[in-house]
Chain A
Amino acid sequence: MVNGMEGYIVSLIIFTAILAVFGLGLNLQWGFTGLINFGHVAFMTLGAYTTALLSSIDIPWLPLPLQILGAVILGATLAAALGLLIGFSTLRLREDYLAIVTIGVSEIVRLIALNEEWLTRGSFGIQRYPLPLGQFSPNLPTRLGMIAILLLVIGIAYCRLWQWMGQQLQPISRSQLVTSLVPIVGYLVSLAVLIVGIGLGARSLKAAANLPSWVLGLGLLSAIVGTSLLYAWLAKRFLLPLAARTTALSLVWVSILSLLGGWLTTIAAIALYHYDRSPTKNGLMWIAVLLVALIYQALQALVRSPWGRILKAIREDEFVARALGKNVFWYKLQAFMLGGFIAGIAGALYAWQLTVVYPDNFQPLLTFNAWTIVVLGGAGNNLGTILGAAIFWAYQSVTRFILSDIIPLDDARLGAFRVMMIGLLLMVLMVWRPQGILGNKEELTLGR
């Protein structure tokens, strides 16, 4: 049981990390620079294929880890070069042209991967390419060292999170904190109890009565939607006014996330301790977490610099940036290419997670998952993007288990249902928190 759990959490962390890196690339392009990229997956495809192909070439004089590293860097560079190509031809035009062209390019890239069989082996896929740390069998001190580095990174992340909270929180008195905590906690607990209750009720109904499954499904759906709507109304009527006065709501969120994160970190550490149980996955998890941290750090330095200020200026009004002597086209190109580079790295991680790359792995849906993540977390907020990726994958995996118990549908329909629910959740988010989870509401109310 613990083993299965461990493996599951490890792959959850890997997927989250991949999506986080992928989303960070899009966030740089759209969140900071305002470039609409609907073909983000193209960069990932290039990164994944290049990494897989180049690392499986036999080069005797080159140590394998270096070869893999070189393959990743080359893959990401190729992705950036694709960005240069797209950008050079469209960035001078209005932004909607970029959106159309990127969608087209991502499909072209996927179709090339599907059809150029001499290179990509088409739908047969590329298999048996070496994985990073695949042959690695660390001794106890090395493993402890890896765990220590992981904990250090997570610890720094926590510091950043709390620091950010500290900047957001208004000083509030203790009595206010308690009064606002009570309804919020009560609200969350009761909503959870209700949904679990509905689920359990449905389960026993399924066992007891011989209802046709569509009646049961419809009833369940309406019960859940009804409850959610009722609760949503309650939240809007009573919870939000309170939450507006204090930021206790975000305090609760951060507490929950911190607890969850702590739990995940513990499991990740345990997994690293038992490294040999699944060397490739554990190694990949370690690499992926470090990469997220590294890329996040590098991007934060960028967006806070004068360079990032120019990107934000372009997002707001590129005429102003031009009038103040900034080469708008060149900065857009840089942002687009760097975003592509990062997505290329995400592609390498994705290839390692999959262990076999097929063209079908790179459907346009991936692009829109990245968009969901960026919007969910708050555009122009890197921390939000990472949080968005975590929430997105938590949702994906939780619903995979729970929904099949609650809703009597077959797997394919459930899959579609889950995507549909994401759409619904996004709409709800857009109504109540259009700026995303970590976004700044004030920014939306500003006039041009």
Chain B
Amino acid sequence: MVDNPSPQPMDHPSTEHPSTDRPAQRSKSDRTFDANLPPLLSAQDLCKSFGGVRAVDHASLEVPQGSIIGLIGPNGAGKTTLFNLLSNFTRPDSGDVMFNGTPIHPLPSHQIAQLGLVRTFQVARVLSRLSVLDNMLLATQNQTGEALLNVWTRSRQIAKEERLQRRHALEILDSVGLSHMAHQYAGSLSGGQRKLLEMARALMVNPKLILLDEPAAGVNPTLINQICTHIQQWNREGMTFLIIEHNMDVIMSLCDRVWVMAEGRNLATGTPTEIQTNPAVLAAYLGQ
């Protein structure tokens, strides 16, 4: 990967993988998902226009329970917009999103997060002037101390919950190697550490599905390996992921299935190997 610094994924669509430098190959026996179950997340015919531009044009997507699904496509294909539509940070013009059997497209974004669908951002967003630990604790759901009056009337219970959550947060921080930074301002973290914190914070929500927007962008190869290992680890523990990524090594090593978008539309879907040899995908990437 050091020898191949270009992020363009389809430079050499060969099926052979140089094995040492890239993220650890996912052993297929690890798969925890069952293709016969109804999908955890399914989006049907999502559309979004900004002025005259159809950013997302009848796009659909399915994420089975327990899987790692990749979402790729050239720049401007509408991947991030699709993420925004799924998490309702942007309201879709039309289309449905079902999550865990509930239609979530009419819900405000914070309720979607509460249901267990948590997103991260393309450029990692940490709360700079809060400590790393506070960033983590914020993500906890259903805290007694989140209600104004409880703060004054149920302080003992809040203190107890905080102790528990703090331990939990420190465990997660420890697993991503950030526990030594727990009491620093999150704003003092490096770019890669911010990505890790964002993922760790998403885990703190205790979600069913995490949407990762380019987890490996702007991150050095060693840390990419580390991030991939974490994602696989969490997936083995039952977490489902939907990942936007330009780094094809990451996609190939992690994903069970890949969806390809171009110009707002679904272009193809299949296993990573199928996608790599799909002529339509190659054409979209090479601009023909």
Contacts and interface: CB of A to CB of B under 8 A. Distances in A.
B113 A325 contact: yes
A309 interface: yes
A315 B134 CA distance: 14
A320 B185 CA distance: 16
A324 interface: yes
Nearest to B111: A325
B85 interface: no
A443 B201 CA distance: 21
A316 B128 contact: yes
A317 interface: yes
Given A313-B127, A334-B148, A321 B155 contact: no
B147 interface: yes
Contact of A305 (B120, B130, B145, B205): B145
B151 interface: yes
Interface stretch (B19-27, B52-60, B135-143, B234-242): B135-143
Contact of A316 (B129, B140, B205): B129
Contacts of B87: 323
B183 interface: no
A301 B155 contact: yes
Contact of A313 (B108, B120, B130, B155): B130
B127 A327 contact: no
B128 A306 contact: no
A324 B118 contact: yes
A307 B151 contact: yes
A446 B131 CA distance: 12
Contacts of A319: 89, 121, 125
B138 A324 contact: yes
B109 interface: yes
B45 interface: no
Interface string B229-256: 0000000000000000000000000000
A327 B110 CA distance: 6
Given A306-B146, A322-B89, A325-B114, A447 B138 contact: no
B79 interface: no
A168 to B, nearest CB: 15
B148 A316 contact: no
A307 B125 contact: no
Contact of A301 (B129, B137, B147, B151): B151
A309 to B, nearest CB: 5
Given A307-B147, A325-B205, 14 more contacts: A301-B152, A306-B145, A306-B151, A306-B162, A310-B146, A319-B89, A320-B127, A322-B110, A323-B118, A323-B121, A324-B139, A325-B110, A325-B113, A443-B187
A161 interface: no
Nearest to B158: A305
B110, B113, B118, B137 pick with most chain A CB within 10 angstroms: B110
A433 B32 CA distance: 56
Contact of A321 (B108, B128, B138, B151): B138
A317 B126 CA distance: 8
The 6 closest A-B pairs by CB, nearest first: A446-B187, A325-B113, A306-B145, A316-B127, A305-B151, A325-B114
Nearest to A297: B152
Interface in A26-44: none
Contacts of B155: 301
B148 A447 contact: no
Contacts of B151: 301-302, 305-307
A323 B110 CA distance: 6
Interface in A54-88: none
B128 A447 contact: yes
Contacts of B201: 324
A80 to B, nearest CB: 12
Contacts of A334: 148
Interface of A: 298, 301-302, 305-307, 309-310, 312-313, 315-317, 319-328, 334, 338, 442-443, 446-448
B241 to A, nearest CB: 16
B130 A316 contact: yes
B170 to A, nearest CB: 16
14 contacts: A301-B155, A305-B151, A306-B144, A306-B158, A307-B145, A309-B134, A310-B146, A316-B130, A319-B125, A320-B127, A322-B110, A322-B113, A326-B110, A447-B128
B267 to A, nearest CB: 28
Contact of A317 (B125, B140, B148, B188): B125
Nearest to B204: A324
A307 B128 contact: no
A312 B130 contact: yes
A446 B128 contact: yes
Nearest to A312: B130
A323 B116 CA distance: 11
A447 B125 CA distance: 11
A322 B155 CA distance: 25
B119 interface: yes
A306 B143 contact: yes
Given A322-B109, A324-B118, A446-B185, A302 B148 contact: yes
A305 B145 CA distance: 6
Nearest to A444: B129
A443 B185 contact: yes
Given A306-B158, A307-B151, A319-B121, A324 B128 contact: no
Chain A CB within 10 Å, residue with most, of B140, B145, B147: B145
B152 A320 contact: no
Nearest to A335: B148
A420 to B, nearest CB: 32
Nearest to A448: B128
Contacts of A447: 128, 187
A258 to B, nearest CB: 29
